[in-house]
Amino acid sequence: MKYIDLKDVTHRELGRALGEVKGISEGSNAKLDYILKFSFEEEIGGCTSIATASNGNFILGHNEDWYLPMSLYIIRAKPKGKPSFISVGYAGQIPGTCASLNESEIAYSANSLDTEINFSGIPKIYLLRSLLEVNSIKEAKSKMSLGNRTIGNSCFIVSAAEKRMVSLEWSPGNYDIIDGEKFLAHANHYLSPKMKKEESNKTCSKSKNNFERAEELLKQLKEPQLEDIKRILQDHEGHPDSICYHPTERAGTLASTIINLGDNAFYVSDGNPCKNEYKKFNL
């Protein structure tokens, strides 16, 4: 019944995204139910996100961490009647799960937050996909009114046009927004006092240590540049549970992304950024 409930609420509230799931199924020659069930996974990851604002320019950085080896993809898409976008996601899942940029100059990244699971809510992955279509932070916030959600998450949302960056934290039944001025940092625990009560007892020390380390490094920057963001994402303080994560040979930081909204450039490192070059993609 849990799977059927998730499928029904997703079809009701965000049915457009199910068409993309069907496309993945057909393209991979995998059963539709298998791809659907994979899109409803709600495991907790260990990502780190940072964002900076300096002289009107915004830069968003994100390390996508996982405890198991997983394949990622980069997609550049032009949906009919919706903003074009570029996004990094997990193979077998719809776009929007890691870090993304659309032509409305909205960039965002996603960090898992551990809460109780609500099996009648909207799955996290589909809410993240819906953010690829927004034109403002207000519109992104409005997605929280679609209904209750399955599990917690934190999204850094940066709007170049609005000259604003926020952390949108949500749980199954609540949400809050934290505005950033010069910088924002986040890992995998709630920062909003309003949201702390929503958190489970599973928050790991890696999350708090990485958040504190990222915030420490960000405070040292006067006018953040692309190379400064790279250095933070490559940081090994607290190794192996560092921002640049190295728990095993095959798992850890699966990809590192940097989005420079000054020129709408999207930089991606395939794996740990300390060992792999960033490649530049344009929207």
CA 249 to chain centroid, in Å, comes to 24
d(CA 106, CA 114): 26
DSSP letter string over 155-220?
EEEEETTTTEEEEEEE-SS-EEEEEESSEEEE-SS--STTTGGG--S---HHHHHHHHHHHHHHHT
SS3 80: coil
Q: How much is the pLDDT for 13?
A: 45
Report the length, in residues, of the chain.
283
Q: How much is the pLDDT for 41?
A: 59
Q: How much is the pLDDT for 188?
A: 93
What is the model's pTM?
Answer: 0.87
Peptide bond into 240 cis (omega under 30): yes
Q: How much is the pLDDT for 147?
A: 81
SS3 52: strand
156 in the Ramachandran plot: left (φ > 0), alpha (ψ -120 to 50) or beta?
beta
SS3 142: helix
Secondary element (H or E) of residue 73: strand 72-77
Q: How much is the pLDDT for 274?
A: 97
Which residue, among 11, 38, 160, 12, has the nearest Cα to 93 in the 3D structure? 38
Which residue, among 66, 153, 164, 72, has the nearest Cα to 110 in the 3D structure? 153
Which residue, among 201, 237, 226, has the nearest Cα to 280 in the 3D structure? 226
Phi and psi (nearest 5°) for 185? -140, 145
Q: How much is the pLDDT for 202?
A: 61
Handedness of CA 173, 179, 185, 191 (dihedral sign): negative
Domains present along the chain, CATH in parentheses: 43-282 (3.60.60.10)
Q: How much is the pLDDT for 14?
A: 47
Q: How much is the pLDDT for 126?
A: 87
The strands making up 72-77's β-sheet, listed across from edge to edge, are 72-77, 85-90, 99-102, 106-113, 152-159, 164-170, 175-180
CA 101 to chain centroid, in Å, comes to 11
Secondary element (H or E) of residue 55: none
Averages of pLDDT over runs of 10 residues in the chain (283 residues) are: 48 58 72 59 72 96 87 94 95 91 97 86 89 96 90 95 97 96 96 91 80 97 96 95 86 94 96 97 92
Across-strand partners of 258?
61, 267
Q: How much is the pLDDT for 262?
A: 94
